Amino acid sequence: MLRTQLQIIVLQEIRWKRHGQIKKNTYSLYYSCSEQTTGYFGTGFMVKKEIEKNIMCFTPINERICTIRLKGKFHTITLINVHAPTEEKTEEKDMFYDDLQRTYEKVLKHDTVLILGDLNAKIGKEKAYENVTGKHTLHDVSNQNGELVCNFATENNLTVMSTQFQHKTIHKGTWTSPNFTTVNQINHVLINTTKKRTVQDIRTLRGLNCDSDHFLVKTIIKQ
């Protein structure tokens, strides 16, 4: 956070228990984890100290979803942090998208809404989804999770912004396999379509060691 000057970092797989807040000298951490066990998923927001005064509320939903609402210069912003189930978890995916739909519907209609995090979704270049996706995706064909993301975006008038910006291939991939032979773009950012000009750029930062098989994805919004 100090190296990149990022104001908010959205985290998945915190793997703690329950929910809460930790205050440090330079940042605060808000987290939403499993009520029963540690070591199981968990989402959260790391917020730089100087913008903490802009936080209106933090809402833990469960170990896969949490939200934070901030007062911006031009409009109020709601960030929905998500960690979707992997491709093979069929029943869990239905529950996840039901929870995400309910969370999205509770956001006040005038807010700028960004849904961001690990959606485990490969989004392709299918013509059927061109109204909600961009041309600059890493993949040609969507997996099932990618189709779910695109359908969710279509039904809720959202745009997948993480495929809208032209970058080198190395700056599109967000996850690498343990043997470094496979790179996928599975972390994404969605925004309500009427506010999509708010997002100025999205790209992967590969030079930061996050001790993870995911790379940090940087999103710049105009505010």
Mean pLDDT, rounded, for 134-140: 96
Among residues 32, 101, 111, the alpha carbon closest in space to that of 70 is found at 111
Per-residue pLDDT band for 49 (boundaries 50, 70, 90) equals very high
**pLDDT mean across residues, the chain:** 94
- Signed CA dihedral, 49, 55, 57, 58: sign only: negative
User: Rounded CA gap, 150 and 118, in Å?
Assistant: 15
Residue 197 has pLDDT above 80, yes or no: yes
Read off the pLDDT of residues 8-32 as tens digits, 9 standing for 90 and up: 999 999 999 999 999 999 999 999 9
183 domain-assigned: yes
Number of domains in the chain: 1
Prediction pTM value: 0.95
Length of the chain in residues, anyone? 223
191 domain-assigned: yes
Burial bucket for residue 110 (CB in 10 Å: 0-12, 13-18, 19+): exposed
Read off the pLDDT of residues 91-107 as tens digits, 9 standing for 90 and up: 899 999 999 999 999 99
Contacts of 211 (CB under 8 A, 6+ apart): none
* DSSP conformational letter for 170: G
Per-residue pLDDT band for 209 (boundaries 50, 70, 90) equals confident
* Ramachandran category for residue 5: left, alpha or beta (phi over 0 → left; psi -120 to 50 → alpha): left
Residue 179 has pLDDT above 90, yes or no: no
Burial bucket for residue 2 (CB in 10 Å: 0-12, 13-18, 19+): exposed
30 domain-assigned: no
Burial bucket for residue 90 (CB in 10 Å: 0-12, 13-18, 19+): exposed
202 domain-assigned: yes
Q: What was the pLDDT predicted at 168?
A: 94
Residue 158 sits in which domain range? 55-221
Q: What was the pLDDT predicted at 91?
A: 84
In the block, tokens 């925004």 appear at: 191
Here the tokens at position 131 are 């109204």
18 domain-assigned: no
162 domain-assigned: yes
49 domain-assigned: no
CATH assignment at residue 127: 3.60.10.10
User: Rounded CA gap, 173 and 10, in Å?
Assistant: 17
Question: What angle (nearest 5°) sits at the alpha carbon of residue 144, between those of residues 141 and 150?
Answer: 75
Question: What angle (nearest 5°) sits at the alpha carbon of residue 82, between those of residues 123 and 86?
Answer: 55
9 domain-assigned: no
